[in-house]
Structure 1
Amino acid sequence: MELRQLRYFVTVAEELHFGRAAERLRIVQPAVSQQVARLERELGLQLLDRSSRHVRLTGDGERMLAEARSVLAAADRAAEVAAELASGRSGVLRIGTAPGLRDRLERGLAALRDRTPDLEIRLTSGSVGEYLAALRAGELDIAFVRGEVAAADLLVTELWRDPLSVLVPSAYQAEGGVKLIDLAALPLRLPADPWLQEKLTAACRAAGFEPVIGRPVDDFEAAIVEMSTGAPAWTVVYGTSCEPAEGALWMGPFAPALSAPGQLVVAPGPGAGCVDVLLAAFA
């Protein structure tokens, strides 16, 4: 019994037509018929009920179909492992991360280790541009980024959306959400995040004003201290994880709400076949 025979049998069982199966397999129809017949002889079973008008599985064929699929899946997985060994990356998952993803990463990596206990994880910090370049060069396996990603040569899937929260002096607190126009006179301080900068600039312009750009945020904790004790300013936080100094600053939603997509980015190739597993783990 050969893997080729099992693959031909599974294809015919799915198509229930030798001609369509041959087209899928990109071989001539007589070769498919011969190999399936040879498989039946070797097993001593009739797997398919053939007539001039139809092809259907026998009872033995239905039972064998499930087993054949399992064997082929194991063979395909062995081929993937061999490719990983050949590339020197077996058992290692290299991930580019974004700030504020600790909980999601811990849940996702725990789920992956349930499937692959010996998996080694290597986390990397960097900019979106650096991640895209590393994925293209084969130096990263996956990356999590926030914001829109324009990369036709990569596989980009939105996994989640984060609310954008505003961090402002407490005097600007608004239980129903802060309107951007009310912040027009305050300097806007943002990290070196091109997507966030473009998003906020566009939102401010849509609200009717050009934002006053303050000093960039290089260290977020230091920026909070400066905003709590120095000149008034405002900034934006992904999610709701920030804990501002009590009394001096307030964090809450925008009105209307703003949000940012969280994206899983994978380079095409052998690793792209694991996207469904990653989606299930990290979504």
Structure 2
Amino acid sequence: MELRQLAYFVAVADEGGFGRAAERLHIVQPAVSQQVGRLERELGAPLFDRSKRQVRLTEAGQRLLPEARAVLAAADRARRAVTGSADATTLRIGVSRAPGQRLYAMLERLAPALRVRLIKMEKPAERLAAVRSGELDAALVRLVEAAPGLELFPAWTDPLVVALPAGHPLAAQPQVRLEQLGDLPVRLAPRENNPAFHDLVTGSLAEAGVRPPRGPEFTGLHDTLVDLASGPPSWTLFYPVFDDLPPVRGVAYVPLAGPEAPTYAAVPPGPPSAQVRQLLEALR
């Protein structure tokens, strides 16, 4: 069993296919298939079900995946322990495209000698995969309750914001509850765009006992807000990805009284490196 085989196996599991894994690894697909096949022969069990269009883990593959991630993370820590002091003074953090002031306030609590590299990756899954592979020391992710092969530490929570027509009676209130929005059409993005946030919203609506009618889809922040201002009355919900919400004529922003969006720091398992330890202390 080789580290390379485990790395290829994890890449296929993360990407859901041999072709996409090869693209991520910057190698040809036959090389990935060959190494995974050797690993399967070494272990005496198939790791992937290749009978369908999408490659899926077998039961044996599901059992191997967390162990493979742990082995790769341990190997990366061992490698970095020998590479010299340069790596020990740099903290690589995966963030979204709009990190916000909460992150920068946390960074101010780090030691001045620690250099910080913020690496922007749009999808949380990409950030988590980069931590598993050793490309990142840590990643900040919202609404992620589990990250196999990694440890999650609470960072902060963000209140949710309701956007609705400025002329609506609720727009003048200091806060709004989901129960008050049950009769107004809601604009949500398709679940596949952001499953965690979609589930947070729909689950919170169910807990509040309301089923608002579905309005047009949430296509993008600016386009949706402009349409909300000029179209039939409706509302949408989001966590503030920017520190200053974009001003749109005819749209009001009202804080939501209720669910919040938690952010977590995802780090490799086991004893933290010096850089990660500083990050966790700053979060506390």
Cα-Cα RMSD: 3.3
| Offset of residue 247 of structure 1 | 5.3
CA distance in 2, matches of 1:122, 1:99: 10
What does 1:180-195 align with in structure 2 at a 5 Å threshold? 180-184=178-182, 185-190=184-189, 192-195=193-196
- Is residue 123 from structure 1 mapped to residue 123 from structure 2 by the alignment? no
Give 1:254's aligned residue: 256
TM-score by length of 1: 0.59
| Offset of residue 262 of structure 1 | 1.5
The percent of aligned pairs where both chains have the same amino acid is 30
- Is residue 208 from structure 1 mapped to residue 209 from structure 2 by the alignment? yes
Give 1:19's aligned residue: none
CA distance in 2, matches of 1:229, 1:85: 58
- Is residue 168 from structure 1 mapped to residue 164 from structure 2 by the alignment? yes
Q: Is the 1:96–1:126 Cα contact (8 Å) retained in structure 2?
A: no
Give the secondary-structure state (helix, strand or coil) at the position aligned to 1:200: helix
Q: Is the 1:169–1:232 Cα contact (8 Å) retained in structure 2?
A: yes
CA distance in 2, matches of 1:97, 1:158: 15
More moved, 136-145 vs 216-225: 216-225
CA distance 1:103–1:167, change in 2 (3 Å)? same
Number of aligned residue pairs: give it.
Answer: 202
| Offset of residue 120 of structure 1 | 5.2
CA distance in 2, matches of 1:265, 1:104: 16
CA distance in 2, matches of 1:208, 1:269: 42
Q: Is the 2:97–2:122 Cα contact (8 Å) retained in structure 1?
A: no
Please tell me the residue identity of whatever aligns with 1:189: L
Q: Is the 1:190–1:235 Cα contact (8 Å) retained in structure 2?
A: no
TM-score by length of 2: 0.59
Task: Point out the structure with max Rg over C-alpha.
Answer: 1
Please tell me the residue identity of whatever aligns with 1:200: V
**1:152-182 C-alpha deviation (Å, 9 max, x unpaired):** 5311111111111211112032525223233
- Is residue 153 from structure 1 mapped to residue 153 from structure 2 by the alignment? no
Give the secondary-structure state (helix, strand or coil) at the position aligned to 2:130: helix
What does 1:1-283 align with in structure 2 at a 5 Å threshold? 83=81, 85=83, 89=87, 91-98=89-96, 100-112=98-110, 114-116=112-114, 119=115, 121-170=117-166, 171=168, 172-184=170-182, 185-190=184-189, 192-239=193-240, 241-245=243-247, 248-255=250-257, 257-269=258-270, 271-272=272-273, 274-282=275-283
CA distance in 2, matches of 1:178, 1:130: 34
Give the secondary-structure state (helix, strand or coil) at the position aligned to 1:265: strand
Please tell me the residue identity of whatever aligns with 2:178: L
**1:15-74 C-alpha deviation (Å, 9 max, x unpaired):** xxxxxxxxxxxxxxxxxxxxxxxxxxxxxxxxxxxxxxxxxxxxxxxxxxxxxxxxxxxx
CA distance 1:214–1:131, change in 2 (3 Å)? farther
| Offset of residue 201 of structure 1 | 0.1
Q: Is the 1:167–1:234 Cα contact (8 Å) retained in structure 2?
A: yes
CA distance in 1, matches of 2:80, 2:277: 20
Please tell me the residue identity of whatever aligns with 2:124: V
**1:50-103 C-alpha deviation (Å, 9 max, x unpaired):** xxxxxxxxxxxxxxxxxxxxxxxxxxxxx9896262799565433221354332
Give the secondary-structure state (helix, strand or coil) at the position aligned to 1:178: coil
Gaps of 5+ in 1: 1-78
CA distance in 1, matches of 2:181, 2:82: 52
Give the secondary-structure state (helix, strand or coil) at the position aligned to 2:161: strand
CA distance in 2, matches of 1:82, 1:204: 46
